[in-house]
Amino acid sequence: MKKIVMLGLMVAAISGCSTAQKNEAEKPTLGMANPASTYCVEQGGKLEIRKEANGEVGYCHLPNGQVIEEWALFRASQSKCVAEQATALIGQSNLTEAQIKQKTSAKMVRLVQPGQPVTMDYREDRVTVTVDPKTNKVVQASCG
C-alpha cells in the first residue's frame, strides 16, 4: 500500500513540474481598424502618418494627387442631417425610421418620448425625433 501511495505522489510531483506549451497563434485579435484609415484605402488612397505638435495625424494621398487629413475625408463622405428637413417633420404622424432617414438625410434616427432623457453628444449624422406615444405625432425633431 505504501508503494502505491509513494508511486502516486512521485507521478503527481513529476507531472507538476512539466510545462504546457502555449500556442501564441491561438490568441484572438482584439480591436478594430480605424474607420478613417479604412475609408482612405477603400478610395484607392495611401496612408501617411505625420508627427505634429499635437501628436500623430493620418493623411490620405488620393489617386488624383490630393492630400487630405484622413478624418476630414471620412467625415465629408458621411451623410449629414439637414436641420430644415428635421423641423419639417413636426406634426407628421406614423413615420417609420426609414421615412425619417429619407426625409432628413440622416444616417441614424433616435426616437424618444416627451420628457425622456437623452445624451447631449452631438452627431451630425443623427436626427432626434420626439414622438407623442398617444397620437404617434412628431412633437419635436432636431439634428444631433
Length, in residues, of the chain:
144
**pTM for this entry:** 0.53
> For residue range 104-134, what is the model confidence (pLDDT) as tens digits?
989 999 999 999 999 888 888 899 999 999 9
pLDDT of residue 9: 67
> For residue range 54-112, what is the model confidence (pLDDT) as tens digits?
899 999 999 999 999 998 888 888 788 999 999 999 999 999 999 999 999 899 999 99
> For residue range 11-67, what is the model confidence (pLDDT) as tens digits?
666 666 665 565 556 666 677 788 889 989 999 999 999 999 989 999 999 999 999
Read off the C-alpha cell for 131. 414622438
Q: How far is CA 18 from its chain centroid?
A: 45
Read off the C-alpha cell for 143. 439634428
Q: Give the DSSP H/E element, type plus range, for residue 90.
A: none
pLDDT of residue 3: 73
Closest to 83 (Cα-Cα) out of 143, 130, 126 = 143
Query: Which domains are delineated in the chain?
Result: 33-77 (no CATH), 83-143 (3.30.10.10)
84: helix, strand or coil? helix
Judged against a pLDDT cut of 80, whether residue 6 lies above it is answered with no
Cα–Cα dist 136/114, whole Å: 11
